[in-house]
């Protein structure tokens, strides 16, 4: 009876996870999806206390302490994190999931080794069963790589790590560590003793670090998505090892969704995933030797506001710079003023805008921008030709026409928002430097482009004041 209740509860939790994930696929239902997924986690956590393998006061105390510490830290950080720091938090929390999966694998492999010592003979796969032992090793590998790799991603996004190489010939070192890790995993699967287990996990953690270190900042949204997929797969494998259907279903769904998102984002950059992982793109500046032709033409914020007020159609393209300036609220105030003047205003979002998937959507939702004003690249690109003014605030590489015209550019072939095809382009930018990838943006030198230099929020405030004066 109890076993049936436990399995039914785990199945219910898995269903709630799937419903929650489905809800998160749209900004309009994302909040509801998060709530459903949270309810599923509560069900899975509560029913764990009834599991027959959880016995003894000591185990209950440890579980309660872990929940209190983890839940308390999560509640505190969720309340205080800035929107600009959201990518770092996602990377960090995702790493914790991979680390948990790796820790479960380590515990099960060490327990199998203890039983082997008592039996006096055999190998890990004979003690655990070949299928369980294989998934324990594979899940431990993937979870450990996702854990250490996500920590490196967090450190890079948070500005705590600038390096793109730890050792000479970093990619060659990666191959050596990867091969050694696989051999150690085979040793764990076929052999006995605790040394191969510790060696295997040490190499897996090291490989995660070595894998993430060479990757440039411009590729971090793809990398975060990839590590999220790896964490989901690791959790699914651990569900099989534990005989927990909720973990199997939830982990598999998260892993599949993460891999699909990774593929879509790599496609949006027109770069295969292997190129993201091994090319080192975005690690150094890569502008053309003699730079773009022409010069930047500057305009004041007030004049930019007047231009918007007398336009018929405006498209706003936000980027990470808007997040840094916390300008989304002032931009939405500006949009409302323009709408009062019967200006058709829309937002255009590139799939890899910001530092994580959906970063710009979250920022705009925080400011209260209606979902029906936000359009993906494929939905709005054709409309730029009929746009009076395109406003770029904080975006850079995703609007760089070099991706369409300059075959020598590192971003050549990457689908971009066709901002340069608008009649007029206003670029709100703090300074004259290149973007996150280090590639010089030819849009800034276009004949139809005017630069509005300054902090995004302050510039938007002055534009709002200019529109109000009319």
**Alpha-carbon Rg for the chain in angstroms:** 25
Cα end-to-end distance, the chain, whole Å: 74
Q: Which long-range contacts (CB under 8 A, 24 or more apart) does 191-195 make?
A: 191/123, 191/124, 192/113, 192/116, 192/122, 192/123, 192/124, 193/113, 194/110, 194/113
Got the DSSP string for 280-298? -TTSS----TT--SS---B
Report the distance separating Cα 278 and Cα 56, nearest Å.
49
Tokens of 44: 């899975």
Tokens of 268: 């949006």
Closest CA to 257 of 7, 33, 32, 12: 33
Backbone angles phi, psi at 411, to 5 degrees: -100, 10
Closest CA to 354 of 342, 346, 366, 344: 366
C-beta separation of 108 from 128 below 8 A: yes
Our answer to whether residue 397 is catalytic in this structure is: yes
Strand ranges in 19-169 using DSSP code E only, listed in sequence order: none
Q: Which residue has the tokens 């008592």?
A: 118
C-beta separation of 330 from 457 below 8 A: yes
- For residue 225, what are the CA distances in angstroms to 119, 214, 357, 430? 43, 17, 7, 29
C-beta separation of 128 from 113 below 8 A: no
Within 8 A by CB and 6+ apart from 404, the residues are 416
Q: One of 192, 219, 397, 418 is an active-site residue; which one?
A: 397
Triad 102, 106, 110: Cα angle to 5°: 175
Report the distance separating Cα 448 and Cα 58, nearest Å.
70
C-beta neighbour count of 276 within 10 angstroms: 24
Indicate which residues carry an active-site annotation.
397
């Amino acid at each position: 009876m109890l076993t049936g209740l436990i399995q039914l509860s785990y199945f219910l939790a898995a269903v709630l996870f799937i419903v929650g994930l489905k809800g998160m696929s749209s900004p309009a239902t994302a909040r509801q999806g998060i709530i459903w997924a949270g309810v599923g986690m509560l069900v899975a956590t509560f029913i764990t206390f009834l599991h027959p393998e959880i016995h003894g006061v000591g185990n209950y105390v440890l579980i309660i302490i872990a929940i209190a510490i983890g839940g308390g830290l999560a509640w505190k950080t969720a309340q205080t994190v800035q929107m600009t720091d959201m990518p770092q938090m996602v990377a960090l929390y995702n790493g914790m999931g991979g680390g948990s999966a790796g820790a479960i694998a380590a515990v099960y492999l060490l327990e199998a080794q203890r039983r082997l010592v008592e039996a006096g003979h055999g190998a890990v796969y004979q003690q655990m069963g070949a299928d369980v032992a294989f998934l324990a090793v594979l899940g431990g590998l993937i979870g450990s790589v996702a854990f250490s790799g996500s920590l490196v991603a967090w450190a890079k996004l948070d500005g705590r790590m600038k390096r793109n190489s730890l050792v000479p010939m970093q990619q060659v070192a990666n191959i050596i560590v990867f091969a050694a890790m696989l051999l150690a995993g085979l040793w764990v699967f076929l052999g006995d003793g605790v040394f191969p287990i510790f060696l295997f996990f040490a190499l897996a953690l090291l490989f995660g670090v070595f894998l993430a270190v060479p990757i440039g900042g411009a590729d971090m949204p793809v990398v975060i998505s990839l590590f999220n997929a790896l964490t989901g797969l690791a959790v699914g494998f651990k569900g099989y090892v534990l005989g927990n259907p909720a973990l199997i279903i939830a982990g598999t769904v998260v892993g599949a969704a993460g891999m699909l998102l990774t593929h879509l984002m790599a496609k949006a950059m027109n770069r295969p995933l292997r190129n993201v992982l091994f090319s080192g793109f975005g690690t150094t500046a890569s502008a053309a030797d003699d730079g773009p032709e022409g010069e930047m033409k500057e305009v004041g914020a007030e004049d930019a506001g007047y231009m918007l007020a007398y336009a018929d159609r405006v498209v706003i393209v936000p980027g990470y710079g808007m997040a840094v300036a916390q300008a989304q609220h002032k931009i939405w105030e500006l949009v409302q003023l323009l709408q009062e003047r019967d200006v058709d205003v829309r937002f255009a979002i590139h799939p890899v805008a910001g530092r994580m998937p959906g970063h710009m959507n979250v920022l705009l939702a925080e400011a209260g921008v209606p979902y029906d004003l936000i359009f993906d690249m494929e939905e709005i690109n054709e409309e730029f030709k009929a746009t009076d003014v395109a406003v770029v605030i904080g975006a850079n590489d995703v609007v760089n026409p070099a991706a369409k015209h300059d075959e020598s550019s590192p971003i050549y072939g990457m689908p971009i928002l066709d901002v340069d095809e608008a009649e007029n382009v206003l670029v709100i930018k703090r300074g004259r430097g290149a973007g996150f990838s280090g590639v010089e943006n030819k849009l800034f030198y276009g004949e139809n482009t005017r630069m509005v230099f300054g902090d995004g929020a302050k510039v938007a405030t002055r534009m709002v004041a200019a529109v109000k004066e009319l």
